[in-house]
Structure 1
Amino acid sequence: MSTTIAAVLLLALVAYAVFGGADFGAGFWDLVAGGPEQGAEPRALIERSIGPVWEANHVWLIFVFVVTWTAFPAAYASIVLTMFVPLTLAALGIVLRGASFAFRKSVVKLRYRRVFGGAFALSSVLVPFCMGAIAGGIASGRVPAGGKAGDPVTSWLNPVSLTSGVLAIVVAAYLAAVYLVWDARRFHQFELGEYFRRRAVVSAVVAAVVAVVGLFVLNADASHVFDGLLSRALPTAILSVLCGFGALVLLMRSAARGARLLAVLAVAGIIVSWGIAQWPYFLPESLTVSAAAAPEATLVTLLVAVGLAVLIVVPGFVLLYVLDQRTLLPEEGIEDAGDRPIISGG
């Protein structure tokens, strides 16, 4: 039963990576889009693309936390006690990002838009870095078992965490760029489609380089996960690489539809490979999944609740994404002050 719940948790992490992570990647492209005039069109596309779904995508993260503390309370206690600094930073970043994204549309003066736009973009970089750093700290065995707190600094500021944090930023940016290529063409903004296609290609290459560097770092500082990648997780890792390479080829040939699917599979393969490589440990190499699990009755009840959630919630998400992709959803909110011309004065 604990294995089933762990698989559900891993799938939820995959969902958050390919949906919520891409939203943060869009924030990265907002950050580097340039000045108010130069970056106006890319930022407008980003707002139009993520506006209908960005709030819904955080449901996956909430689901991950609820399942972890219910099914694996011992591991959850250790992770929260050790990683309270990056978890707090990530929570603040999520709140600040959402508020800034909403308020930026409601202000008229340029300097206020810059403030909210900068907060939105910087938070979108901070959050994936913190999430990746937490994953790196767990993978490298810096979270002690038994509900004890590890070092609040070195647990997430270490070679593995820094590498995985950077990889999370780059992968999120890559996914966002691939999605934005498709959305730009869907809205018949073909120049913007080319703009994001070039950035998708560059970020794919950077992600590959960071991943290769990460393998050397894992070998030196997280040998259990490294050995797992080269053994039990090797098939999914190879599949991820092949999908990533295929997506890159299609992007270079301007085939956005196929590239989007392969990019999603490549990122999903990274998450799944990490989970398989770390198996059977929840906290390498001190706490296994079975030892961290709650009593059997709790796991059964949780699995029933998850099944009901799949039947009730998932169809709503599918409908939301289908309507969004078919451009059948209204613009987020109503015409507001932010839709009027920007006033550049103080």
Structure 2
Amino acid sequence: MSAATLIAFVLLLAVAAYTCAGGTDYGAGFWDLTAGGAGRGKRPRWLIDHAMAPVWEVNNVWLIFVLVIMWTGFPVFFQTVFSAMWLPLALAAIGIVLRGAGFALRKPTRRLAGRRIYGAVFAVSSLLSPFFLGAAAGGIASGRVGPGIEPTAHAWYNPTSVFFGLLAVVGTALLGAVFLAADAVRYGAPDLHAYFRRRALAALAVLAVLGVVTLAVAHADAPHLWHGLSHGAGLVLLVLSILATAVTAWLLARTSGAWSRVSAVVVMGSAVLAWGLAQRPYLIPGRLTVAEAAGAPSTLHWLVIVTAVAVVLVFPAVALLYRLDTRGDLEPLTDADLRRGEAGPEPGGGA
């Protein structure tokens, strides 16, 4: 395997990781948006705040990793995509920034009007960012961008892009609901467990329908992608995603524990991997191959080394953070905890 092919596979894995990790937070924002008014949506939003707080910022590590690999390992690909897709990617970036600001500022704001404004910014941005990221991916998958092609709205506003965007929104909603249903068990909230489990099943059903429609659209609108998804590794991963969908539905009908989280991640992760491998040997079908887009050999070799270092040092730390979060070991201090700290040492506890 050449260095360019290896780095391209690392890039695809990073995109899949961001889809699953960051997508869980986007999905939580989707359910925040649809939770209803202040009274009706109070408890779902309470769970969303508590579940997201420990890890929402670290999920952007995967996005940064994607961008670094793109502009250093495949500069022609980076320039082509960001030139042709500057509008949807700019809107997605604005959404990411506003989403973070809205989530961070909503909880400490005392005035109800301010909390509503920040909450709306967080929720709406969580809907728009995955849609525009998915639309950009659809433009790439359909081969509508390429070196030397003038940027046009048609590059990202086309049938494949629209359905990719919708798949991104519904897929992240599925991940968010599955993870929140499991978190509800951890927080001892059976009403919220049932609430999010029902929404996870609904999102799974919509995702299955959208997936079938998207495949039909790709058959006519993105023939190279269709061929890759109906043959070889792309077909294997697509079948894996379909099987994981069925397993997730079965698990959600029974309970919403750790295994439903795993199966939901497999649904989305294998779908992203199927898309990437279906395009081989292209980064942009019919326009730009992996070899043509690759940077200098020395750059690729250094990227391999940096990736190896990240695998040894960074990824285990991120995995440990997720593990501690799912076990509930990262609970924030409450007012009662702080008051106990102000009370001084317990009798016999030393100075």
The TM-score with structure 2 as length reference comes to 0.92
Indicate the RMSD between aligned Cα atoms, in angstroms: 1.4
Give the equivalent residue in structure 1 for 2:75. 73
- Contact map agreement 1:16 1:61 (CA 8 A) in 2: yes
The offset of 1:286, in angstroms, is 1.1
Match in the other structure for 2:265? 264
Report what 1:166 is aligned to. Answer: 166
The code of the aligned residue for 1:258 comes to: W
> Shift in Å at residue 28 of structure 1?
0.2
Q: Secondary structure at the match of 1:207?
A: helix
Q: 1:228 and 2:231 equivalent? A: no
**1:211-237 deviation per Cα after TM superposition (whole angstroms, max 9, x unaligned):** 111011101110000011000211111
Counterparts in 2 of 1:125-204, with a 5 A limit?
125-145=127-147, 148-204=148-204
Question: Residue 95 of structure 1 aligns with which residue?
Answer: 97
**Which residue number in structure 2 is paired with residue 123 of structure 1?**
125
Check whether the contact 2:29–2:127 (CA below 8 A) recurs between aligned residues. yes
State the partner residue of 1:326: 327
How many Å separate the matches in 2 of 1:229 and 1:142? 18
Structure 2 residue identity aligned to 1:3: T
Structure 1 pair 332/73, CA: closer, same or farther in 2 (3 Å)? Answer: farther
2:150 aligned partner, one-letter code: G
* 1:340 paired residue number: none
Determine which of 99, 105, 108 is the counterpart of 1:106: 108
TM superposition shift of 1:150:
3.5
- Counterpart in the other structure of 2:36: 34
Cα shift readout 1:73-120 (whole Å, capped 9, x = no counterpart): 111100000010011101110110001101111212221111111110
Shift of 1:253: 1.7
Q: Are 2:182 and 2:256, in contact at CA under 8 Å, matched by a contact in 1? A: no
> Could you tell me how far apart the structure 1 residues matched to 2:81 and 2:256 are?
41
Call closer, same or farther: CA 1:255–1:105 in 2, change over 3 Å: closer
Relative to structure 1, is the Cα distance of residues 203 and 318 closer, same or farther in structure 2, using a 3 angstrom cutoff? Answer: same
> Unaligned regions of 5+ residues in structure 1, if any?
336-346
The 2-side partners of 1:132 and 1:219 are apart by 18
CA contact (8 A) 1:85 1:152 kept: no
**Rg larger for:** 2
Could you give the per-residue CA deviations for residues 303-344 of structure 1, whole angstroms, max 9, x where no partner exists?
Answer: 101111221211221221122122111428989xxxxxxxxx
Question: Aligned partners of 2:72, 2:51: CA distance in 1, in Å?
Answer: 34
Letter of the structure 1 residue corresponding to residue 69 of structure 2? V
Does the CA contact (< 8 Å) of 1:3 and 1:289 recur in 2?
Answer: yes
Q: In structure 2, how many angstroms separate the alpha carbons of the residues matched to 1:332 and 1:215?
A: 48
3-state secondary structure, aligned to 2:154: coil
Cα distance change of structure 1 residues 230 and 283 upon mapping to structure 2, 3 Å threshold:
same
Shift of 1:149: 4.8
**1:16 alignment partner in structure 2:** 18
Distance 1:256 1:154 in 2: 42
Secondary structure, aligned partner of 1:282: strand
1:52: which partner in 2? Answer: 54
Distance across 1 between alignment mates of 2:196 and 2:152: 38
Amino acid at match of 2:25: D
Structure 1 distance, partners of 2:115, 2:304, is 45
Conserved? CA contact 1:229–1:274, under 8 Å: yes
* Aligned residue in 1 for 2:206: 206
Q: Is the 8 A contact 2:130 2:168 kept in 1?
A: yes
1:154 is paired with a residue whose SS is helix
* Residue number in structure 2 paired with 1:344: none
Q: Give the aligned residue type for 1:78.
A: T
TM-score by length of 1: 0.94
Count of paired positions: 333
* Number of the residue aligned with 2:340: none
Q: 1:62 to 1:149 in 2, by over 3 A?
A: farther
Cα offsets for 1:50-89 (capped at 9, x unmatched): 1100000001001001001111111110000001001110
